[in-house]
Structure 1
Amino acid sequence: MGAAAKYGCRAHVPELPDRLPAPVVDLGPAAGDRSDSCGWYAARLRTADGGPLPDRAAGVPLGGAAREEGCLLAVGPEATRRIHPTLGKEQRAHLDLDAILRISPWWVRTRSYFGDDAAAFAARAPGQRIPEPVTPGTAGRLGDVLHGSASCQGRPATLTMVVPYRYRSVLGARLDELFKAYATDAAARRGCTGLVLPPPE
């Protein structure tokens, strides 16, 4: 207010809410009614069988003008023990259950970047030491990162999903379905157009 008065500007400062949302501190059930940044995934679970999909989630409250949104999904220990025996014999040989549970759990992370943050996103391709800028308006795969794009009120949006290699092999074709569900929801919720998705692997 002081700066506005100094330069003769009119300013309106919105009232602060009575309570701020509690911070997300742990993974909880992925299913159910969610109004946070993992809501797209809960909706997906209502129309698809669980199979090898994550059963745990940690989202953040959605802010209409936030320049970044993220969601973390994970396969909990019990679900991992259920899924592992259903994999093919050769796949199980490369995915030791004990190692998965102790060292390399299965997870998926989405991040949406809007405006200037979308134009500044970079990802590292296999064998690269330096991240490579991702051009707005494009889609593809760089190492563990899938990325798509859209235009939101004339500003760029970069939509990303990170999935470690070992879990990508478990998801198979479901990975493309997951990315499409996430990107379509993020674009529709923000009123974005021109959604570009990476081609199926």
Structure 2
Amino acid sequence: MDVPNGMRKSVNVLLCLTAVAGIGWSGPVLWDEWRTYRAVGAGCADLVPVREVRGMDHADPVLRNRRSLDREDLPSACLIQNAGDDGDAYGAWLFEAMVDAGPGSGRDTIVSRPEGELPERFARMEVPVGAEVSGLAGPSETTVRLDCPDGTYRGKPAQRIEVTAGAAYTGMSSYHPEPATPGDRERMAAIAVAAAGNLAERLGCASRLPTPPAELPPVPEPTAAGKADGTCAWYGRLESPSREQLWMPDEAMGAPADPHVFRERCALLLTTDSARTLFDTAYAGTEGVSDDEAPSGDPSEAWWADVQTFYDQDSPSVYVGSTGSSKATDSPLAPGTAGRHKDSGLWWATSVCADEPAVHVLRLHYGYSSLSERAAPHFERLFRAYVTDVAARRDCTDLEFPVGSTFRAD
């Protein structure tokens, strides 16, 4: 059927007006899209995949760059925020990426007296990313490492790349509770692996990390000591003499044991009821010990300790920090040595695992650490059992243990 000329003209005018209206509406949207991509892209030195950041569960349509990453001066970090309701004011922190490369990357700092740390910090157990990725995923961040001996950074061999990607909204209770959502935990792993690969390409590194799995292992929770598994499986098998039973933690929290991780940990807890029994039996009435130090029954006052191993320590890169600080304050724990760190509740042993030096650490924390001279002798055998288990799992030789006198008061 032919359309009259007058009607055809009216339809054309209507279509044109609709197109103009669409362009007018989409212009600001496209502009916001472009600004968001530039905020994440340029702010993170074009190393971070923008699509993954924009896909985070609490991402606003518009993002803003709060701090920029400088790939010429690493370590460096970028911080991305939601833009806020009006599209301009800074909203909640959303995402942060920390990037490092060169001989200094992969440095670990361990706090020597962490009894002041919050209980929830102790519970932040990392799990292996899996799929043969050299990476660890916590409740709100993922850190990956990529060896890069053939790359060049600042005119020297790059040696290693380390990237940490985190959901920075965690801890911001006025916006979103912690920890990160399961979806964002998995996005952090993908982002960290992608950023490491992008930096490797720029530095001339041939190696790349495998694609991370679609789902990460869940964040571990404490379990009865006899049911401990993963990095704590050795503790479930440990039999203590009756005189030591009272001192031994009754819960454990481990992660899956994975030969590709660069760090592992087993956390051990003496629950509050058991801590009270120990205090009444071993400490009450002891000179210099106040009843104020007795456990109150609050679950947050569980006594705890942990053991950790740092792998691939081809140069001294495990440093000791002070309470409440992640900054190194002392010399590194050198491969081939063993001992106790000054007067703190920290002991270390060393070995060679799969032809690479490793450092093993025991720490006595809240409760145990404040009275460590009495507790320490009971943990010597525990520490040896842990390191021996690691040696069997990771093909370790040349074990160096602290001498027995370091676990006893002078």
TM-score by length of 1: 0.78
Q: In the alignment, does 2:391 pair up with 1:187?
A: yes
What's the CA shift string for 1:152-200, capped at 9, x where partnerless? 1220010001114324234242121111111111112111001000011
Q: Residues 67 and 15 (structure 1 numbering): CA distance in 2 closer, same or farther, change over 3 Å?
A: closer
Q: CA shift at 1:95, angstroms?
A: 5.1
Residue aligned with 1:133, SS: coil
Structure 1: runs of 5 or more not aligned: 4-8
Q: Distance in 2 between matches of 1:197 and 1:150?
A: 9
CA distance in 1, matches of 2:314, 2:295: 33
User: How many angstroms apart in 2 are the aligned matches of 1:192 and 1:136?
Assistant: 13
CA contact 2:230–2:256 (8 Å) conserved in 1:
yes
Q: What displacement does 1:87 show? A: 0.9
Q: Does the C-alpha gap of structure 1 residues 40 and 117 become closer, same or farther in structure 2, counting only changes over 3 Å?
A: farther
**Which residue matches 1:60?**
255
Residues 1:88 and 1:108: Cα distance change in structure 2 (over 3 Å): closer
State the alpha-carbon separation in 2 of the partners of residues 87 and 176 from structure 1.
18
SS at match of 1:135: coil
Q: CA deviation at 1:139?
A: 0.2
Equivalent residue for 1:107? 304
Q: Which ranges in structure 2 are unaligned for 5 or more consecutive residues?
A: 1-196, 199-205, 406-410
Cα distance 1:107–1:141, how it changes in 2: closer, same or farther (>3 A)?
same
Q: Which amino acid aligns with 2:317?
A: A
Return the match for 1:144 from 345, 367, 375: 345
Equivalent position to 1:29, from 200, 213, 224: 224
> Cα distance, 1:77 vs. partner?
1.0
Note if 1:135 corresponds to 2:334: yes
**TM-superposed deviation, 1:100:** 3.4
1:152-167 correspondence to structure 2 within 5 Å:
152-164=353-365, 165-167=369-371
TM-superposed CA distance for 1:41, in Å, is: 1.3
Q: Contact 2:283 / 2:289 at 8 angstroms: preserved in 1?
A: no
1:174 pairs with 2:378: yes
Paired letter, 2:397: T
Q: CA deviation at 1:119?
A: 3.1
> Per the alignment, do residues 13 and 151 of structure 1 end up closer, same or farther by CA in structure 2, a change over 3 Å counting?
closer
Deviations 1:79-136 (A, max 9, x none): 112222211554376153665345864211111000048731012589xx81321111
Question: Max radius of gyration: which structure?
Answer: 2
Cα separation, 2, equivalents of 1:12 and 1:111:
24
TM-score by length of 2: 0.41
Letter of the 1:185 counterpart: D
RCO higher in structure (CA 8 A, sep ≥6): 1
Would you say the 8 A contact 1:146–1:160 is kept in 2? yes
- 167-176 or 63-72: bigger deviation: 167-176
Taking the aligned partners of 1:118 and 1:170, their CA distance within structure 2 comes to 34
Which whole-Å CA distance do the structure 2 matches of 1:97 and 1:27 have between them?
27
CA 1:22 to 1:197, structure 2 compared with 1: closer, same or farther past 3 Å?
same
The 3-state SS of whatever aligns with 1:168 is: helix
Q: Percent identity?
A: 24
Structure 2 letter corresponding to 1:196: E
Q: Measured at CA, do residues 118 and 55 of structure 1 come closer, stay the same or move farther in structure 2, by a change above 3 Å? A: farther
Counterpart of 2:295 in 1: which secondary structure?
helix
Q: Report if aligned partners of 2:337, 2:400 keep a CA contact under 8 Å in 1.
A: yes
* SS in structure 1 at match of 2:286: helix
Q: Structure 2 matches for 1:5-44, cutoff 5 A? A: 16=213, 20-24=216-220, 26-32=221-227, 34-44=228-238
SS at match of 1:38: helix
Q: Residue 335 of structure 2 aligns to which amino acid in structure 1?
A: P
SS in 2 for 1:179: helix
CA RMSD of aligned residues (A): 3.4
Q: Is the 8 A contact 2:272 2:295 kept in 1?
A: no
Between 1:174-183 and 1:114-123, the stretch displaced more is 114-123
Q: Check 1:104–1:167 CA distance in 2 against 1; reply closer, same or farther (3 A cut).
A: farther
| Displacement after TM superposition at 1:31 (Å) | 1.5
> Counterpart in 2 of 1:197?
401
Query: Which secondary structure state, in structure 1, belongs to the residue aligned with residue 349 of structure 2?
Result: strand
* Alpha carbons 2:284, 2:291 under 8 Å: kept: no
How far apart in 1 are the matches of 2:287 and 2:232? 29
